[in-house]
């Protein structure tokens, strides 16, 4: 099943539970706007390569749209559309005044020089410039993009406008209007959600074994935060594979190794483990924080964790969800678990619009408040409606978007 088919199936499943109006249901099943662009880029060897880029806005019902930019060889319209839909639900669930969007370029950023990445980013930004803006659509980083890519996007937009517009993207370097705490926000939010769920299911965090797939912005920070709250992080991985040590990994040494050598490969401190085997390791908490579709009907029966915290977007297929639910595994869905990033992106946008900046403690305190509040709201609906956390989260989110659509009516 494609990622978009899975996202639509989730919406279809929740529609009868909230008595979703059929017309609004039909509108929400597809994106409001999609743009496909060619991104011609001069490579360092003098050749020209034409990459394909996308920006999809799923729903503008609640405000300007918000969502990341992904640079990855698997980026296509289907995945970007699915991710844009998830962003609509995530923003609505968190009570943010945004609709959902997503974008990306089909490329392998790990095989490109900084100059090639900059030229591709600037051309991509120019090609989608009519669609973005601080009051229209505000990109952020995702897989394969970072603060530097956001700085180039912000500069390209600003140069074309002739003024500096920090609020056009979030997760910029703090010197350019980025928020303190943004780079750690998603991983920090993952650990807050994990702690709330662990308490609810009676799982002590002290000594709990955690496995984290993906050692990037989300997985790296989530691993460190889980260790700080008492968990034993026994395995982590990146795209080339992972490391496992049943007594716990020396995370600081791993971070140091990745800073120097880019990949975990060859790092001492644990035994090598494949990304497939990592998902089936003995542990209490599993955090998929890399790509989508990794927990499927093929391996869901072998997952040994009691709690899955979805740092990645769409890591669990609907079929796997059903198997995990039947086995009593608690899954904190992506739109709740990894919302820390868009929450602090919202804080960054608010700070940019006011040219007034908060200290990091305030950002972290507000992030925690929003995450804890959202978790409690979702857990309450799950309890009352006797459904799992994903269904409950979607019930809250889709209802909010549907209500906004109903209030606004159908134009013309
Ligand atoms: P990143 O590029 O910083 O890190 C991704 C990590 O995953 C890297 O360690 C990479 O090597 C690894 N990886 C890539 N392909 C893999 C594969 N096939 N198997 C195993 N590992 C693989 O990206 P990120 O920002 O940490 O994003 C990770 C996930 O979290 C994505 O699904 C993204 O959509 C989601 N997410 C990110 C944010 C954010 O604020 N960055 C917010 C919400 C959700």
pLDDT in tens, 295-332: 999 999 999 999 999 999 999 999 999 999 999 999 99
Residue nearest atom 40 in ligand 1 by C-alpha distance: 341
Mean pLDDT for the stretch of residues 337-354: 98
Contact call for residues 115 and 130 (beta carbons, < 8 A) = no
Taking the CA of residue 185 as reference, the ligand 1 atom at the shortest distance is: 40
- List beta partners, residue 237: 213, 242
Return all residues near 310 (Cβ < 8 A) that are at least 6 apart: 287, 288, 316, 331, 332, 333, 334, 337, 338
Q: What is the pTM of this model?
A: 0.96
Residue nearest atom 15 in ligand 1 by C-alpha distance: 239
Cα separation, 68 vs 341, in Å, equals 10
Q: Read off the pLDDT band of 272 (50, 70, 90).
A: very high
- pLDDT on residue 1: 81
**Domains plus CATH for the chain?**
3-163 (3.40.50.10860), 185-332 (3.40.50.720)
Residue to mutate, 217, 221, 240, 286, ligand 1, most ligand atoms under 8 Å from C-beta: 217
Taking the CA of residue 290 as reference, the ligand 1 atom at the shortest distance is: 7
Catalytic positions, written as ranges: 102
Give the closest residue to 348 by CA, choosing from 337, 339, 357.
Answer: 357
Backbone conformation region of residue 216, classed left if phi is above 0, alpha if psi is from -120 to 50, else beta = beta
Residues above pLDDT 90, as percent of the chain: 99
* Separation of CA 289 and ligand 1 centre (Å): 6
Q: Is residue 317 helix, strand or coil?
A: coil
Q: Is residue 244 helix, strand or coil?
A: strand
Beta strand ranges found along 167-290 (DSSP E): 209-213, 232-238, 241-244, 271-273, 285-288
Mean pLDDT for the stretch of residues 73-95: 98
Mean pLDDT for the stretch of residues 260-278: 96
Give the closest residue to 64 by CA, choosing from 98, 28, 33, 96.
Answer: 98
Residue 345 Cβ inside 6 Å of ligand 1? The answer reads: no
* Separation of CA 329 and ligand 1 centre (Å): 23
Residue to mutate, 3, 141, 218, ligand 1, most ligand atoms under 8 Å from C-beta: 218
Q: Is residue 248 helix, strand or coil?
A: coil
Cα separation, 59 vs 322, in Å, equals 28
* Separation of CA 8 and ligand 1 centre (Å): 22
Rg (CA), the chain: 20
Contact call for residues 395 and 18 (beta carbons, < 8 A) = yes
């Amino acid at each position: 099943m494609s990622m978009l088919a899975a996202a639509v199936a989730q919406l279809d499943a929740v529609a009868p539970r909230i008595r979703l109006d059929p017309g609004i249901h039909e509108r929400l099943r597809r994106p409001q706007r999609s743009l496909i662009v060619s991104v011609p880029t001069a490579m360092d060897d003098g050749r020209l390569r034409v990459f394909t880029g996308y920006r999809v806005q799923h729903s503008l019902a609640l405000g300007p749209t918000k969502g990341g930019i992904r640079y990855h060889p698997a980026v296509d319209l289907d995945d970007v559309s699915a991710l844009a839909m998830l962003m609509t639900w995530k923003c609505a669930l968190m009570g943010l005044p945004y609709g959902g969007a997503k974008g990306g370029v089909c490329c392998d950023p790990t095989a490109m020089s900084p100059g090639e990445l900059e030229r591709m980013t600037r051309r991509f930004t120019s090609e989608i410039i009519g669609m973005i803006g601080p009051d229209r659509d505000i990109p952020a980083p995702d897989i394969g993009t970072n603060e530097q890519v956001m700085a180039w996007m912000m500069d390209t937009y600003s140069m074309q406008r002739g003024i500096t517009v920090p609020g056009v993207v979030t997760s910029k370097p703090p010197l350019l209007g980025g928020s303190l705490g943004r780079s750690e926000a998603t991983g920090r939010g993952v650990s807050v959600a994990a702690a709330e769920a662990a308490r609810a299911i009676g799982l002590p965090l002290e000594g709990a074994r955690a496995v984290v797939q993906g050692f990037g912005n989300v997985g790296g920070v989530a691993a460190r935060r889980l260790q700080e709250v008492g968990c034993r992080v026994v395995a982590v991985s990146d795209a080339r594979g992972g490391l496992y040590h049943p007594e716990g990994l020396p995370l600081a040494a791993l971070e140091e190794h990745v800073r120097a050598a880019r990949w975990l490969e060859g790092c001492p401190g644990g035994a090598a483990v494949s990304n497939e085997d990592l998902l089936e390791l003995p542990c209490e908490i599993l955090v998929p924080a890399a790509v989508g579709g990794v927990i499927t009907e093929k391996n869901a029966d072998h997952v040994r964790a009691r709690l899955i915290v979805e740092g990645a977007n769409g890591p669990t297929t609907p079929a796997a969800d059903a198997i995990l639910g039947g086995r009593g595994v608690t899954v904190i869905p992506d739109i709740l678990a990894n919302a820390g990033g868009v929450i602090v992106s919202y804080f960054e946008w608010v700070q940019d619009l006011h040219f007034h900046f908060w200290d990091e403690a305030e950002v972290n305190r507000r992030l925690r408040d929003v995450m804890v509040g959202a978790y409690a709201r979702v857990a309450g609906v799950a309890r009352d409606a006797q459904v799992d956390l994903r269904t409950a989260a979607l019930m809250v989110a889709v209802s909010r978007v549907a209500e906004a659509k109903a209030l606004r009516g159908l134009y013309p």
